[in-house]
């Protein structure tokens, strides 16, 4: 089944403790992206990657890091999480071509930083 | 800067009626526009893409229109069902890239 897999689904952590949220896709998509979703603010892009070893900042990159060493994986790293990073996070992937397909999203990771 | 507006108020309709949701954008000339469905706590699911040279697109009970003069897209669900209750998001590509920006969505409630 074509899908984007995020782990973990839920995470509660303490301020300052480094964490990684994993994202993997099995569709050979070139494009991958991370979003956070907060009430009243909608989906905001954190980082995106057009291909292996190519990453760029989205609209809200502060406090986050990413890497794209393999085509299928795009982990999101929070080096020193803070309470304002409490949010619902989504990973998404797509082909770079502008065909009739859209983004495929993962099921989300609900992160709470206390 | 580019801006996407969707009605933040929930749309509440009776089962069997047609639901119509609106997406307006400014400072933009997108090559295409997409619509997604999102259920609470879940990731958005892609529904339809319509290009700037297409006035209308249909998929089963869904119909999308794209008016580049009005800078507006309308999303219709005909013969609506309670299972159609969800939040619907529109999305447009940023400039000429494949980076999408999303509207904040409109919640649809279909009463049985």
pLDDT in tens, chain A (114 residues): 889 999 999 999 999 999 999 999 999 999 999 999 998 888 999 999 989 999 999 999 999 999 999 999 999 999 999 999 999 999 999 987 655 678 999 999 999 999
Give which of B90, B105, B88, B85 is closest to B12, Cα–Cα.
B85
pLDDT of residue B98: 66
CB contact under 8 A, B46 and A104: yes
CB pairs under 8 A between A and B: 58
Integer Rg of chain B from CA: 13
pLDDT of residue A90: 98
A96 contact residues in B (CB cutoff 8 A) = 98
Instruction: Return the SS3 of A84.
Output: helix
CB contact under 8 A, B41 and A33: no
Give which of A18, A7, A6 is closest to A113, Cα–Cα.
A18
Q: What is the mean pLDDT of chain B?
A: 92
What residue in B sits closest to A100 (Cα-Cα)?
Answer: B49
Question: What's the per-residue H, E or C state across B26-52?
Answer: ECCCCCEEEEEEECCCCCCEEEEEEEC
What residue in A sits closest to B92 (Cα-Cα)?
Answer: A102
Tokens of A92: 């998404």
Secondary structure letter of residue B93 according to DSSP: E
pLDDT band at B43 (very low <50, low <70, confident <90, very high): very high
CB contact under 8 A, A102 and B43: no
B45/chain A closest Cα distance in angstroms: 7
Q: How far is the CA of B103 from the CAs of A74, B7, B22, B91, in angstroms?
A: 24, 9, 11, 6
Whose tokens are 């009970």? That residue is B61
């Amino acid at each position: 089944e074509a899908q984007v897999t995020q782990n973990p689904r839920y995470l509660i952590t303490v301020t300052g403790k480094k964490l990684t949220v994993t994202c993997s896709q099995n569709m050979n998509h070139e494009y991958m992206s991370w979003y956070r979703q907060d009430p009243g603010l909608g989906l905001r892009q954190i980082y995106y990657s057009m291909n292996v070893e190519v990453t760029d900042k989205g609209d809200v990159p502060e406090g986050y890091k990413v890497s794209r060493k393999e085509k299928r994986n795009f982990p999101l790293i929070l080096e020193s999480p803070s309470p304002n990073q409490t949010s619902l996070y989504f990973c998404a992937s797509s082909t770079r071509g502008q065909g009739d397909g859209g983004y495929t999203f993962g099921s989300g990771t609900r992160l709470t930083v206390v | 800067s580019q801006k996407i507006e969707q009605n933040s108020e929930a749309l509440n309709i009776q089962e069997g009626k047609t639901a119509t949701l609106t997406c307006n954008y400014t400072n933009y000339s997108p090559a295409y526009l997409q619509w997604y469905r999102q259920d609470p706590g879940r990731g958005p699911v892609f529904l339809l893409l319509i290009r700037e040279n297409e006035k209308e697109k249909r998929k089963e009970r869904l119909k999308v229109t794209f008016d580049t003069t009005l800078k507006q897209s309308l999303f219709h669900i005909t013969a609506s069902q309670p299972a159609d209750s969800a939040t619907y998001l529109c999305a447009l590509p940023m400039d000429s890239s494949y980076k999408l920006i999303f509207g904040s969505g409109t919640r649809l409630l279909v009463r049985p």
